[in-house]
Amino acid sequence: MSEPNTNEPGEVREIRINPVVPSESVLVATARSMRPKKAEELAPRDTRKHVETCPFCRGNEHKTPPAILAWPEKADWRIRMVENLYPVLGDDREQVNFNFGLQQTIDGYGRHEVIIDHYEHGIAVHEMAEPHLAALFGVYQTRMRQLFESDARLKYVLVFKNFGPAAGASIPHTHSQVIAMPVVPENVDAEVRNSAAHYAKHHHCIFCALIDEALTFEATIYDRNSGAVRRKINVGQYVVERGEKFIAIKPFASRYEWEVHILPLAHQADFLDVRGEDMADLARVMKRTMARLDAVIGGAQYNFFLHSVPHDARQGAHAASYHWHLEICPRTSIPTGFELGSGLFVNTINPEQAAERLRAVDL
């Protein structure tokens, strides 16, 4: 039996509304007895440098489809990109869209490609050298640009990475994926629409406002009846890592316990606009953020994905209202029927405390 107001100090049980996409909310429930979730088992990481039978390891190039690009273009490549053998969207086949009553379809046209992030089989992102990571972000950018230039039907290019079995990685060799599709994915579209509405009302980018708040906001909220301090928001409370050009932030309404977002500090809607010389700082912030996550979680299994302004909207109003970002979502618990059925994410770790633990890691 639990009575109201008997939560231990620091324990949180509240529904937090995502400031960018208000329809997406998170139940933050940190009391142990409240956790309606099962922890994801930590899978041992494959740390081998080279695996004879792995199609993504050097020397096995004949086991993959031909390379789309390689960096450098030599036998001792460091990053290599190939077609996905089992694409979720595929080929150049034109198909008439099928519409029957409420059954509407769009042709599953697109491209699905694999980037072998590193020639070393089991290397983790935080173990990669900064120049290598910078080159990897450069490969993401180059390929996105090439795909948009190649075909006007492509509306969005999603770059993402699954790392570890809990995150859905089927091949243990470290890799990212690129999916070019004929529609803008719903969750990107929701961010674009909501940030545009915010811009129309307030004349500033909501992501820039979130960064400003993370860096400068300081407030104490008192209970009106008792006068007790209900919440204290401190300067930099949500900042995990800060570079010269990029910042890693723990979202206030984090869906995942260890979720962290990386954004450019200065307003920028399109990942394609990141300048070559700024990739080094992005790599540094990424490497340090991943090292913090790895240290705290102990072998992070995660998904990360890049959200950038849809290509067709990059010149218009969305250039001012949208702000590209990288969402890192470590998988430490298994979603339950409650989450799937309600659409409400459950986070069992207070985001403020999670950020504090991540910051405390000695790098």
- The nearer residue to Zn ion, 12 or 159, going by C-beta atoms, is 159
Instruction: Write out the H or E segment, with its range, that includes residue 307.
Output: strand 302-307
Nearer to Zn ion, 121 or 292 (CB): 121
Residue 303's nearest CA partner among 291, 290, 292 is 290
Of 54 and 166, which CB lies nearer to Zn ion in the complex structure? 54
Q: Are 169 and 116 a contacting pair, CB within 8 Å? A: no
Q: What are phi and psi of 329, to 5 degrees?
A: -125, 90
Taking the complex as a whole, the smallest distance from the CB of residue 267 to Zn ion amounts, in Å, to 4
Instruction: For the CB of residue 49, give the shortest distance to Zn ion in the complex, in Å.
Output: 9
Measured CA distances, 37 to 184, 235, 350, 357 (Å): 31, 31, 15, 21
Contact (Cβ atoms closer than 8 angstroms) between residue 319 and residue 156: no
CB of 326 to Zn ion, least distance (A): 9
Residue with smaller CB distance to Zn ion, 132 or 173:
173
Q: Which residues bind Zn ion (CB under 5 A)?
A: 51, 54, 56-57, 121, 173, 205, 207-208, 267, 307, 323
Q: Is the CB of residue 12 less than 8 Å from the CB of residue 352? A: no
Phi, psi of 160 (to 5 degrees): -150, 170
Least distance to Zn ion from the beta carbon of 20, Å?
A: 7
CB of 329 vs Zn ion, minimal distance in Å: 10
Determine contact, residues 262/306, Cβ cutoff 8 Å. no
Tell me how far apart the terminal alpha carbons of the chain are, to the nearest angstrom.
43
User: How far is CA 210 from each of CA 90, 163, 179, 250, 322, rounded to the nearest angstrom?
Assistant: 38, 28, 29, 11, 12
Residue 24 or 29 having the CB closest to Zn ion:
24
- Contact (Cβ atoms closer than 8 angstroms) between residue 148 and residue 128: no
Q: Give whichever of 110 and 251 is closer to Zn ion, judged by the CB atom.
A: 251
Residue 89: left (phi > 0), alpha (psi -120 to 50), or beta? beta
Q: Which residue has the tokens 């050298």?
A: 129
Beta carbon of residue 50, minimum distance to Zn ion (angstroms, whole number): 7
CB of 57 to Zn ion, least distance (A): 4
Strand stretches in 199-285, DSSP E: 219-222, 229-233, 239-242, 246-249, 260-264
Helices (H), the chain: 130-150, 186-202, 206-216, 279-293, 318-321, 337-342, 351-360
Minimum distance from CB of 254 to Zn ion (Å)?
12
